[in-house]
Structure 1
Amino acid sequence: MSALKASVFLKVALKEGQSIREIASAVDASPSTVSRLLLDMGQVDRNGDPGNGLIEVRRDPLNSTISRQFLTAKGRQLRQDIARIVDGEAATGMSSPLSVGP
Protein backbone atom coordinates (compact mmCIF):
# COMPACT_ATOMS: atom_id res chain seq x y z
CA MET A 1 0.00 0.00 0.00
CA SER A 2 1.42 3.39 -0.98
CA ALA A 3 1.93 6.10 1.63
CA LEU A 4 -0.77 8.23 -0.01
CA LYS A 5 -3.24 5.34 -0.08
CA ALA A 6 -2.51 4.65 3.60
CA SER A 7 -3.03 8.34 4.39
CA VAL A 8 -6.37 8.36 2.59
CA PHE A 9 -7.48 5.23 4.47
CA LEU A 10 -6.44 6.77 7.80
CA LYS A 11 -8.32 10.00 7.04
CA VAL A 12 -11.49 7.99 6.51
CA ALA A 13 -10.76 5.80 9.54
CA LEU A 14 -10.33 8.84 11.78
CA LYS A 15 -13.44 10.62 10.50
CA GLU A 16 -15.96 8.72 8.46
CA GLY A 17 -18.42 10.56 6.24
CA GLN A 18 -15.97 12.94 4.59
CA SER A 19 -16.28 13.95 0.95
CA ILE A 20 -13.57 13.29 -1.60
CA ARG A 21 -12.71 17.01 -1.64
CA GLU A 22 -12.31 17.09 2.16
CA ILE A 23 -10.01 14.07 2.10
CA ALA A 24 -8.04 15.43 -0.88
CA SER A 25 -7.47 18.70 0.93
CA ALA A 26 -6.33 16.90 4.08
CA VAL A 27 -3.78 14.72 2.27
CA ASP A 28 -2.68 17.43 -0.18
CA ALA A 29 -3.68 15.50 -3.29
CA SER A 30 -6.05 16.15 -6.17
CA PRO A 31 -9.66 14.99 -5.84
CA SER A 32 -9.21 12.77 -8.92
CA THR A 33 -6.22 11.00 -7.35
CA VAL A 34 -8.10 10.48 -4.09
CA SER A 35 -11.15 9.25 -5.99
CA ARG A 36 -9.04 6.60 -7.75
CA LEU A 37 -7.50 5.47 -4.47
CA LEU A 38 -10.91 5.26 -2.81
CA LEU A 39 -12.24 3.20 -5.72
CA ASP A 40 -9.33 0.78 -5.31
CA MET A 41 -10.18 0.47 -1.59
CA GLY A 42 -13.85 -0.20 -2.40
CA GLN A 43 -15.57 -3.45 -3.37
CA VAL A 44 -14.63 -3.08 -7.04
CA ASP A 45 -11.56 -1.13 -8.16
CA ARG A 46 -11.39 1.36 -11.02
CA ASN A 47 -10.61 -1.44 -13.50
CA GLY A 48 -13.60 -3.56 -12.49
CA ASP A 49 -11.45 -6.02 -10.57
CA PRO A 50 -12.07 -6.88 -6.92
CA GLY A 51 -11.03 -4.01 -4.67
CA ASN A 52 -9.72 -4.08 -1.12
CA GLY A 53 -13.23 -3.95 0.39
CA LEU A 54 -12.21 -1.36 3.01
CA ILE A 55 -14.31 1.66 1.98
CA GLU A 56 -17.92 2.12 0.95
CA VAL A 57 -19.41 5.17 -0.71
CA ARG A 58 -22.74 6.66 0.27
CA ARG A 59 -24.47 9.60 -1.38
CA ASP A 60 -25.00 12.63 0.83
CA PRO A 61 -28.71 12.66 1.68
CA LEU A 62 -28.85 16.45 1.37
CA ASN A 63 -26.81 16.77 -1.83
CA SER A 64 -26.72 13.79 -4.17
CA THR A 65 -23.71 15.21 -6.05
CA ILE A 66 -21.52 14.60 -2.98
CA SER A 67 -20.32 11.13 -2.05
CA ARG A 68 -19.34 10.35 1.53
CA GLN A 69 -16.74 7.75 2.45
CA PHE A 70 -17.27 5.16 5.20
CA LEU A 71 -15.45 2.07 6.41
CA THR A 72 -16.82 -1.38 5.69
CA ALA A 73 -16.67 -4.08 8.37
CA LYS A 74 -13.30 -5.11 6.91
CA GLY A 75 -12.13 -1.48 7.07
CA ARG A 76 -13.23 -1.17 10.72
CA GLN A 77 -11.32 -4.35 11.52
CA LEU A 78 -8.18 -2.94 9.88
CA ARG A 79 -8.63 0.29 11.88
CA GLN A 80 -8.83 -1.76 15.10
CA ASP A 81 -5.75 -3.79 14.13
CA ILE A 82 -3.77 -0.61 13.46
CA ALA A 83 -4.95 0.92 16.74
CA ARG A 84 -3.81 -2.18 18.66
CA ILE A 85 -0.38 -1.99 17.07
CA VAL A 86 -0.07 1.74 17.75
CA ASP A 87 -1.36 1.37 21.32
CA GLY A 88 0.98 -1.56 21.96
CA GLU A 89 3.99 0.45 20.83
CA ALA A 90 3.08 3.64 22.68
CA ALA A 91 5.50 4.11 25.55
CA THR A 92 3.37 6.82 27.11
CA GLY A 93 0.32 4.66 27.70
CA MET A 94 -1.86 7.21 25.89
CA SER A 95 -4.66 5.96 23.69
CA SER A 96 -4.26 6.05 19.95
CA PRO A 97 -6.54 8.45 18.03
CA LEU A 98 -7.66 5.35 16.12
CA SER A 99 -8.95 3.64 19.26
CA VAL A 100 -12.62 2.86 19.06
CA GLY A 101 -13.39 1.77 22.58
CA PRO A 102 -12.76 -1.30 24.74
Structure 2
Amino acid sequence: MSFSNRRPSADTKRSLFDAFQFIEAFREMRPEMPMHMASAFLLIAMKPGITQRELLTLSEIAQATMSRNIAALTERDRHGKPGMNLVIQRRDPMDARTLMLFLTKDGHDLVGRLIGDTVSQCETVGT
Protein backbone atom coordinates (compact mmCIF):
# COMPACT_ATOMS: atom_id res chain seq x y z
CA MET A 1 0.00 0.00 0.00
CA SER A 2 1.43 3.36 -0.95
CA PHE A 3 1.10 6.60 0.95
CA SER A 4 1.05 10.01 -0.66
CA ASN A 5 2.14 13.24 0.97
CA ARG A 6 0.38 15.17 -1.76
CA ARG A 7 -1.92 17.79 -0.28
CA PRO A 8 -5.48 18.00 -1.57
CA SER A 9 -6.34 20.92 -3.81
CA ALA A 10 -8.52 23.77 -2.55
CA ASP A 11 -11.45 22.37 -4.58
CA THR A 12 -10.97 18.92 -3.07
CA LYS A 13 -10.81 20.38 0.44
CA ARG A 14 -14.02 22.34 -0.20
CA SER A 15 -15.79 19.22 -1.50
CA LEU A 16 -14.64 17.18 1.49
CA PHE A 17 -15.75 19.90 3.88
CA ASP A 18 -19.17 20.02 2.16
CA ALA A 19 -19.45 16.24 2.54
CA PHE A 20 -18.51 16.52 6.22
CA GLN A 21 -21.16 19.21 6.81
CA PHE A 22 -23.71 17.08 5.02
CA ILE A 23 -23.04 14.10 7.28
CA GLU A 24 -23.09 16.29 10.38
CA ALA A 25 -26.49 17.74 9.43
CA PHE A 26 -27.94 14.22 9.44
CA ARG A 27 -26.13 13.33 12.67
CA GLU A 28 -27.64 16.39 14.37
CA MET A 29 -31.12 15.11 13.52
CA ARG A 30 -30.53 11.48 14.40
CA PRO A 31 -27.04 10.44 15.52
CA GLU A 32 -27.67 6.77 14.75
CA MET A 33 -29.05 7.43 11.24
CA PRO A 34 -27.78 4.73 8.85
CA MET A 35 -26.12 5.96 5.68
CA HIS A 36 -28.64 4.08 3.52
CA MET A 37 -31.43 6.12 5.16
CA ALA A 38 -29.59 9.31 4.21
CA SER A 39 -29.20 7.91 0.69
CA ALA A 40 -32.94 7.24 0.46
CA PHE A 41 -33.67 10.80 1.59
CA LEU A 42 -31.33 12.21 -1.05
CA LEU A 43 -32.86 10.09 -3.81
CA ILE A 44 -36.34 11.33 -2.83
CA ALA A 45 -35.04 14.91 -2.83
CA MET A 46 -33.53 14.42 -6.29
CA LYS A 47 -36.58 12.69 -7.72
CA PRO A 48 -39.84 13.88 -6.11
CA GLY A 49 -42.55 11.30 -6.63
CA ILE A 50 -40.14 8.37 -6.73
CA THR A 51 -41.67 5.07 -5.66
CA GLN A 52 -40.28 2.64 -3.13
CA ARG A 53 -39.71 0.15 -5.95
CA GLU A 54 -37.59 2.70 -7.82
CA LEU A 55 -35.64 3.41 -4.62
CA LEU A 56 -34.97 -0.31 -4.22
CA THR A 57 -33.64 -0.51 -7.77
CA LEU A 58 -31.38 2.52 -7.37
CA SER A 59 -30.03 1.72 -3.92
CA GLU A 60 -29.84 -2.08 -4.06
CA ILE A 61 -30.79 -2.57 -0.40
CA ALA A 62 -33.30 -5.08 0.98
CA GLN A 63 -37.00 -4.25 0.74
CA ALA A 64 -37.50 -4.60 4.50
CA THR A 65 -34.63 -2.20 5.16
CA MET A 66 -36.01 0.31 2.66
CA SER A 67 -39.49 0.11 4.20
CA ARG A 68 -38.02 0.72 7.66
CA ASN A 69 -35.98 3.67 6.36
CA ILE A 70 -38.95 5.27 4.62
CA ALA A 71 -41.12 4.84 7.71
CA ALA A 72 -38.44 6.51 9.86
CA LEU A 73 -38.28 9.42 7.42
CA THR A 74 -42.06 10.00 7.62
CA GLU A 75 -44.15 11.55 10.40
CA ARG A 76 -44.48 8.22 12.30
CA ASP A 77 -42.07 5.30 12.24
CA ARG A 78 -43.19 1.68 11.88
CA HIS A 79 -43.74 1.46 15.66
CA GLY A 80 -46.00 4.53 15.74
CA LYS A 81 -43.34 6.67 17.38
CA PRO A 82 -42.50 10.14 16.05
CA GLY A 83 -40.47 9.91 12.87
CA MET A 84 -38.24 12.50 11.27
CA ASN A 85 -41.08 14.09 9.25
CA LEU A 86 -38.85 14.64 6.22
CA VAL A 87 -40.85 12.58 3.72
CA ILE A 88 -44.53 12.11 2.96
CA GLN A 89 -46.14 9.23 1.07
CA ARG A 90 -48.93 9.88 -1.43
CA ARG A 91 -50.93 7.41 -3.50
CA ASP A 92 -50.13 7.47 -7.20
CA PRO A 93 -53.24 8.91 -8.92
CA MET A 94 -52.71 6.46 -11.79
CA ASP A 95 -52.22 3.37 -9.58
CA ALA A 96 -53.62 3.46 -6.03
CA ARG A 97 -51.43 0.48 -5.08
CA THR A 98 -48.30 2.57 -5.55
CA LEU A 99 -46.99 5.08 -3.03
CA MET A 100 -45.05 8.06 -4.29
CA LEU A 101 -42.54 9.78 -2.01
CA PHE A 102 -42.09 13.53 -1.63
CA LEU A 103 -40.29 15.84 0.78
CA THR A 104 -42.22 17.65 3.47
CA LYS A 105 -41.48 21.25 4.41
CA ASP A 106 -39.03 19.91 7.01
CA GLY A 107 -37.41 17.81 4.29
CA HIS A 108 -36.99 20.86 2.07
CA ASP A 109 -35.59 22.83 5.00
CA LEU A 110 -32.98 20.10 5.51
CA VAL A 111 -32.08 20.15 1.82
CA GLY A 112 -31.65 23.91 2.13
CA ARG A 113 -29.28 23.42 5.07
CA LEU A 114 -27.37 20.74 3.19
CA ILE A 115 -26.81 22.85 0.11
CA GLY A 116 -26.52 26.15 1.92
CA ASP A 117 -29.72 27.70 0.56
CA THR A 118 -32.47 29.16 2.70
CA VAL A 119 -35.16 27.47 0.62
CA SER A 120 -35.02 24.23 -1.32
CA GLN A 121 -36.03 24.59 -4.95
CA CYS A 122 -38.03 21.32 -5.07
CA GLU A 123 -41.81 21.11 -4.95
CA THR A 124 -43.25 20.52 -1.48
CA VAL A 125 -46.13 18.10 -1.01
CA GLY A 126 -47.82 18.09 2.40
CA THR A 127 -46.36 19.29 5.67
Structure 2 runs not aligned, ≥5 long: 1-32, 123-127
Q: 1:100 is matched by which residue type in structure 2?
A: Q
Q: 2:121 is matched by which residue type in structure 1?
A: V
Correspondence for 1:11 among 31, 39, 43: 43
Could you tell me how far apart the structure 2 residues matched to 1:19 and 1:82 are?
A: 23
Could you tell me how far apart the structure 2 residues matched to 1:17 and 1:44 are?
A: 19
Could you tell me how far apart the structure 2 residues matched to 1:35 and 1:8 are?
A: 10
Q: 1:56 is matched by which residue type in structure 2?
A: I
Larger radius of gyration: 2
2:123 counterpart of 1:77 = no
2:121 counterpart of 1:100 = yes
The TM-score, its normalising length taken from structure 2, stands at 0.65
The TM-score, its normalising length taken from structure 1, stands at 0.80
2:76 counterpart of 1:53 = no
Runs of 4+ in 1 over 4 A off after TM superposition: none
* Aligned CA-pair RMSD: 1.6
Correspondence for 2:99 among 67, 71, 79: 67
Q: 2:48 is matched by which residue type in structure 1?
A: E
Could you tell me how far apart the structure 1 residues matched to 2:67 and 2:100 are?
A: 11
Identity %: 33
Could you tell me how far apart the structure 2 residues matched to 1:64 and 1:35 are?
A: 18
SS of alignment partner, residue 16 of structure 1 = coil
Offset, 1:17: 0.2
> Larger RCO: Structure 1 or Structure 2 (Cα < 8 Å, ≥ 6 residues apart)?
1
